[in-house]
Amino acid sequence: MAGETNFDLVVIGGGPGGYVAAIRAAQLKIKVALVEREHLGGICLNWGCIPTKALLRAAELRHSIDEMKDFGITVSGEVSIDLKAVVKRSRNVAGRLSTGVAHLLKKNKVTVFDDRAVLGKAVSGRREVKLAGGGVLSAKHVILATGARARALPGIEADGSSILTYREAMVPETMPKSLVIIGSGAIGSEFASFYLDMGVEVTLIEAMDRILPVEDAEISDFVKKAFIKRGMKIITGARLAGIDKGKTGVTARFEGGIAPVSADRAILAVGITGNTEELGLEGTKVTVDRGHIVTDQWGATGEPGVYAIGDVTGPPWLAHKASHEGIICVEKLAGEPDVHAIGEGAVPGCTYCRPQVASVGMTEAAAKDAGHDIRVGRFPMLANGKAIALGDDQGLIKTIFDKKTGELLGAHMVGPEVTELIQGYAVARTLEATEAELMQTIFPHPTLSEAMHESVLDAYGRAIHF
Catalytic positions, please?
445
The radius of gyration computed from the CA coordinates of the chain, to the nearest angstrom, equals 24
Is there a contact between 312 and 292 (Cβ–Cβ < 8 Å)?
yes
Name the nearest CA neighbour of 373 among 407, 348, 324. 407
Instruction: Report the 10 Å Cβ neighbour count for 125.
Output: 8
Helices 186-197, 217-229: crossing angle, 10 deg rounding: 20
Name the nearest CA neighbour of 257 among 244, 235, 238, 233. 238
Report how far residue 178's alpha carbon sits from residue 441's, in angstroms, rounded to the nearest whole number: 48
Is there a contact between 212 and 351 (Cβ–Cβ < 8 Å)?
yes
Listed as own residue / partner, the contacts of 56-60 with beta carbons closer than 8 Å and 24 or more positions apart are: 56/190, 56/193, 56/194, 56/352, 56/353, 56/354, 58/86, 58/89, 58/90, 58/198, 59/193, 59/194, 59/197, 59/198, 59/354, 60/197, 60/354
Q: Which residues contact 351 (CB under 8 A, 6 or more apart)?
A: 186, 189, 190, 212, 215, 357, 358, 419
Q: Which is it for strands 306-308 and 136-144: parallel, antiparallel or unpaired?
A: parallel
Report how far residue 395's alpha carbon sits from residue 384's, in angstroms, rounded to the nearest whole number: 10
Residue 460, judged by CB atoms within 10 A of its CB (0-12, 13-18, 19+), counts as middle
Name the nearest CA neighbour of 364 among 216, 211, 215. 216
Helix spans in 264-417 (H): 319-333, 364-369, 385-390
